[in-house]
A = this chain, B = another copy of it.
Amino acid sequence: MPPRTVTDRAAAPVDPASLAPAEARALFRGGLASPTAGWSRGFTQANLIIVPRAQAFDVLLFAQRNPKSCPILGVQGAGETSGPLLAGGDIRTDLPRYTVYEDGVLVAEPGDITGWWRDDLVTFIIGCSFTFEAALQDAGIRIAHIEQGVNVPMYRTTVRSASAGALAGPMVVSMRPIPAAQVADAVRITARYPAVHGAPVHVGDPAVLGIVDLAAPDFGDAVELRDGDVPVFWACGVTPQAAVMESRPSLAIGHAPGFMLITDARDSDYLVP
Q: Residues of A with Cβ closer than 8 Å to B?
A: 53, 56-57, 60-61, 64-65, 72, 74-75, 77, 164-165, 188, 191-192, 194, 272-273
- Closest B residue to A73 using CB positions: B64
Whole-angstrom CA separation of A72 from B60 in the bound complex: 12
In-complex Cβ contact of A272 among B60, B77, B191 (8 A): B191
- Closest B residue to A54 using CB positions: B57
- Closest B residue to A72 using CB positions: B64
In-complex Cβ contact of A194 among B56, B57, B194 (8 A): B194
- In the complex, what residues of B have CB within 8 A of residue A188's CB? 273
Do the beta carbons of A192 and B64 come within 8 Å of each other? Answer: no
- Closest B residue to A164 using CB positions: B77
- Closest B residue to A53 using CB positions: B57
Given contacts A191-B272, A192-B273, contact A64 B57 (CB under 8 A): no
- In the complex, what residues of B have CB within 8 A of residue A165's CB? 77
- In the complex, what residues of B have CB within 8 A of residue A75's CB? 61, 64-65
- In the complex, what residues of B have CB within 8 A of residue A272's CB? 191-192, 194, 272-273
A135 CB to closest chain B CB, in angstroms? Answer: 13
